[in-house]
Structure 1
Amino acid sequence: MKCRKGSAVLIIRVGDPFCRNCFREYFMHKFRAMLGKNRIIFPGEKVLLAVSGGPASSAMLRQVQEGLSRETAKKLRFIPSVIYVDEGAVRGQSPAQREQSLACMETLLQATGFPYYLVHLEQALELPASILRPGPATPSEPGVSYKEAVEGFIQQQRQKGYGDKDSGTSLPGAGSGESPEGAPAAPRLPAAALTQELLKLFEAVQTMTAKEELLQMLRTHLILQTARTKGYTKVMTGETCTRVAIKLLTNLALGRGAFLAVDTGFKDNRHGDVMVVRPLREYMAKEIAFYNHFFDVPTVIAPPLPTKRRDKPSFRHVVESFLLGLQKDFPSTISTVYRTGEKLSADRAKPSCEAERCLLCLCALDLDGEEELALEPTLIIDEPELERNGCCQDPLAAWAERKSAYIPLLCYGCRLTFKELVRLLVWSGVFSLGTGVPIPTALLLQGPVTTLPPYVRAEAQRRIHR
């Protein structure tokens, strides 16, 4: 304890006890130090906080509140807003339960005083195809150092009258408790037809691992679209050190080893115009739990994805059980995995052109040459109904609707997920579109391409036809 006055109430590490006040200062300093060390978020920049209602994102939201209300020398200087994605439809919640969860979240967000956005996962089905293309990178302050930007911002705020110590959250736009979308007091759910379409999409996915990947993709694209349309250049997520370590090993198992640096690093700039930052990635889940308990941070816990398998439902659950089990006997396990990820480079994840960018995750295609040829027998797929009707169709249009046409647009990890979107059936032979070009096949994927989100199909067809 630094104060040497209060009584110790918790021990984060062996020989490192904290009283209540010292722990609060330690927690807040760690958050500000992470942002200050990286110097990515410039003063006056609009930042969208992605809040799920869980312990980590709720703690992040409280830290931003605390940081904006502190004295001028330590105050955070960006303009925050909050986004919450309602995933109740795919998590097995009834309409009444979804309404209740939305009402709880809206009450929580209104209490922050920040502008907020309540969006539904069903809205991902209406996203434009452009969401799968990186926007132009726009540096916050070109040619200006971070220190100069801070000094200039402080001077500007003093001239405008925002710099008074009694002003609390003094940044313009950070004090409105109303949703920018003008959300009604009683949140309305999307149309039932849209919800059914979303459920149909998830029902077509055969494994829990693929469902988790699909949910993550739709959630990320929804948040990204909101950030772009509302003018936010940064998005904050609440991924902790524990979650990062689990994600690192899970992604290795899913064939995404080449992209670990962007999937788990402090910053993820694959989208170009919007950067994702993870300011909680040095916090253990234990620290988050203690902070929320001691300082009454409200949370809204969403139910897990429904599954019939109670034991080992997905890769992530297996890795999580493995790591947390080791952590009990070897307390440095998670931090060791986390530090290993810190040494990885993001260079391999950067595509040099559109043709080398993955359709789904926007990272570089990590297969070429001999690797591509070795995987071809298991990754090229086919649908025999096109053989019967191919003579009456435009060959290029027919090819664009075939699942095998999607494979060259995907990285190795996304190919594995894509294969799980429909049922597998062993099949062998050679198929031709009627153009005389033979296509070797060893695997048949049944189920229409229309089970994919519309914006994914639209972007895939654009890239196939170009």
Structure 2
Amino acid sequence: MCSVQDEDGDIAVPRSAISADRVCMKCKDTKAVVVTRVNDALCRDCFIVYVVHKFRATIGKSHLIRDGEEILLAFSGGPCSSALLHLVQEGLSQRAHKRLRFKPSLVHIDEMGVLDLPSEEREKTNAAILDVLRGTGYPCYISSLEQALDLPDGSGEQKVGHCRPPCWNIDNGEGLENYNRAKHDKRLADVFKSIKSTTAKENYVRNLRNQLLTAIARRHSYSKVMLANTSTRLAIRILSDIGQGRGGQVSVDTCFADERHGDIMFVRPIREVTSKEVAMYNSLYRVEPVFVPTLTTQASRGASIDHLTECFVTGLQAEFPSTVSNITRTAGKLDSVVRTGTEDFCVLCQSPLDTNVGEASALRAVEFSDMLSKRGCDPGSTTSGCCGEGDGSCQSSKVNSLHNTDVIKALCYGCRLTVKDMTDVSQLPSHVTQEAASRISRLRMKEDIQDFLIDGDS
């Protein structure tokens, strides 16, 4: 089973060719209940062994999770995170053949603040999720996406007295009651109202979520965060990233271990399991996910690039079962880019910067076009507005404030597209603008003393 691979060139399987009376291809004596991969029929027990093996083999092959290590598991309440939680519970139970050795804790990030939902519906959904978390007996935390706006610096570390706590421990009397009484920051809703496209909104939500998970993990001394990304979701992310100019991030976005956040590692233990297999696993074990609406719930096919890509990949996967595996295996051959300095990463998504290109590149052509299209200010100015007459009376560049062009210099190409959809960069999280401002200050200081520096090549 370790060498199970989908065929590279499979053809569409007619539905009429799939019989309901087939016998399990593994044990040969039990009626099959599910067809996996191209046309492989498995019974209930063999299918569960098949999924559990994928999960455990993915963890085992990495050799990254140590015995007794405390792991933070991100639980959204959806089908994938519910399946991952159940796999962990089964792996830690007394009846498991080989018990898992790590110690899980759970965290839920409430992202419904970006939707125009009644507070009662939001609280009801959170109550259902917390019921699931409490039932596990593991340490549990809950936070909201609004908290990501108040992280004080680029490292994401929480400083007592500077902002609100990023999460509530529901095991220490800080549960749903205190969480519901907290004043939800309206700035998040205002930011999303100012962003034009749904694609930019989805990217912004993803970045805020990752930053908040990183901050919570640091605050409670976790070094790894488990994400419930299936192979289907990763295949969608690969094509979506390429379509949005994030091709250089494909490797870190889809590999097992995402180390772009420095001391916090994101791991994806069910990256070899498809969404179809997750749905069947939940059905066989009667795992009941909690429905949590998103930005594209009941949206049209072309509502966003992610949503359109999802429709394309899942539609193709239904006819050609090797679609997802071929996409993920191809992307798996790409090398991940690591940081080489303190300022070579994007302040928003923490990915390596991909904007250090030559003057004859397509990026420079786009930037030049944007500069020419601006009106009312000197094209060479780095400010977002001009108050002078071209005679030196402009004071905009002398004000110690952060402007769009300052932030854009500290962003990767994909995040630049997201920020361009915003009307004001001050709506970005405080730690993002602070890091961008620090870089600009260091750059200006370096320019001021450039004549006094010794060239390292001389």
Shorter-chain TM-score bucket reads 0.7 to 0.9
Q: 1:239 to 1:382 in 2, by over 3 A?
A: farther
Q: 1:369 to 1:197 in 2, by over 3 A?
A: same
Which residue of the other structure, out of 242, 256, 259, is the alignment partner of 1:266? 256
Please report how far the alpha carbon of residue 39 of structure 1 lies from its aligned counterpart in structure 2 after TM superposition. Answer: 0.9
Please report how far the alpha carbon of residue 313 of structure 1 lies from its aligned counterpart in structure 2 after TM superposition. Answer: 0.7
Work out whether residues 379 and 415 of structure 1, in 8 Å CA contact, stay in contact via their aligned partners in 2. Answer: no
Which residue of the other structure, out of 41, 44, 47, is the alignment partner of 1:17? 41
2:48 corresponds to which letter in structure 1? R
Q: 1:20 to 1:307 in 2, by over 3 A?
A: closer
Which residue of the other structure, out of 80, 105, 115, is the alignment partner of 2:139? 115
Name the residue aligned to 1:453: 429
TM-score normalised by length of structure 1: 0.79
Instruction: Give the match's secondary structure for 2:234.
Output: helix
1:376 corresponds to which letter in structure 2? E
Q: Structure 1 stretches of 5 or more lacking a match?
A: 134-177, 423-447
Name the residue aligned to 1:388: 387
Name the residue aligned to 1:463: 439
Please report how far the alpha carbon of residue 14 of structure 1 lies from its aligned counterpart in structure 2 after TM superposition. Answer: 4.2
Name the residue aligned to 1:404: 405
Percent sequence identity over matched residues? 41
Please report how far the alpha carbon of residue 70 of structure 1 lies from its aligned counterpart in structure 2 after TM superposition. Answer: 4.3
Name the residue aligned to 2:130: 106
Instruction: Give the match's secondary structure for 1:195.
Output: coil
Name the residue aligned to 1:338: 328
1:201 corresponds to which letter in structure 2? V
Please report how far the alpha carbon of residue 463 of structure 1 lies from its aligned counterpart in structure 2 after TM superposition. Answer: 1.6
Q: 1:249 to 1:382 in 2, by over 3 A?
A: farther
Q: Deviations over 1:65-118 (max 9, x none)?
A: 111114686111111100100111213321101110111011000111111101
Instruction: Give the match's secondary structure for 1:48.
Output: strand
Please report how far the alpha carbon of residue 132 of structure 1 lies from its aligned counterpart in structure 2 after TM superposition. Answer: 5.8
Instruction: Give the match's secondary structure for 1:129.
Output: coil
In terms of mean alpha carbon deviation, does 413-422 or 261-270 score higher? Answer: 413-422
Q: Deviations over 1:220-276 (max 9, x none)?
A: 111110000000011100010100000000000111101111011111001111100
Name the residue aligned to 1:221: 211
Greater helix percent: which structure?
Answer: 1
Work out whether residues 230 and 274 of structure 2, in 8 Å CA contact, stay in contact via their aligned partners in 1. Answer: yes
In terms of mean alpha carbon deviation, does 178-187 or 297-306 score higher? Answer: 178-187
Instruction: Give the match's secondary structure for 1:357.
Output: coil
Which residue of the other structure, out of 72, 75, 87, is the alignment partner of 2:99? 75
Which residue of the other structure, out of 79, 88, 93, is the alignment partner of 2:117? 93
Q: 1:199 to 1:465 in 2, by over 3 A?
A: same
Q: Deviations over 1:184-221 (max 9, x none)?
A: 353633655x4321100111110000000000011111
> Is 1:316 the equivalent of 2:317?
no
Q: Structure 2 stretches of 5 or more lacking a match?
A: 1-23, 158-168, 378-383, 443-458
Give aligned pairs, total. 393
Where do residues 182-197 of structure 1 align in structure 2 (5 Å cutoff)? 182-184=173-175, 186=177, 188-189=179-180, 191-192=182-183, 194-197=184-187
**2:341 and 2:81 mapped to 1: Cα distance?**
34
> Is 1:238 the equivalent of 2:221?
no
Please report how far the alpha carbon of residue 386 of structure 1 lies from its aligned counterpart in structure 2 after TM superposition. Answer: 3.4
Which residue of the other structure, out of 300, 305, 327, is the alignment partner of 2:290? 300
**2:109 and 2:172 mapped to 1: Cα distance?**
14
Work out whether residues 92 and 306 of structure 1, in 8 Å CA contact, stay in contact via their aligned partners in 2. Answer: no
**1:72 and 1:197 mapped to 2: Cα distance?**
47
Please report how far the alpha carbon of residue 394 of structure 1 lies from its aligned counterpart in structure 2 after TM superposition. Answer: 7.4
Q: 1:396 to 1:216 in 2, by over 3 A?
A: farther
**1:222 and 1:382 mapped to 2: Cα distance?**
38
**1:118 and 1:420 mapped to 2: Cα distance?**
30
Where do residues 118-133 of structure 1 align in structure 2 (5 Å cutoff)? 118-131=142-155
2:68 corresponds to which letter in structure 1? G
Q: 1:382 to 1:233 in 2, by over 3 A?
A: farther
Q: 1:26 to 1:7 in 2, by over 3 A?
A: same
1:236 corresponds to which letter in structure 2? M
Q: 1:306 to 1:328 in 2, by over 3 A?
A: closer
> Is 1:210 the equivalent of 2:200?
yes
Work out whether residues 296 and 303 of structure 2, in 8 Å CA contact, stay in contact via their aligned partners in 1. Answer: no
2:345 corresponds to which letter in structure 1? R
**1:373 and 1:89 mapped to 2: Cα distance?**
37
Which residue of the other structure, out of 340, 347, 354, is the alignment partner of 1:366? 354
Name the residue aligned to 2:339: 351
Name the residue aligned to 1:415: 416
Please report how far the alpha carbon of residue 9 of structure 1 lies from its aligned counterpart in structure 2 after TM superposition. Answer: 1.3
TM-score normalised by length of structure 2: 0.80
2:175 corresponds to which letter in structure 1? P
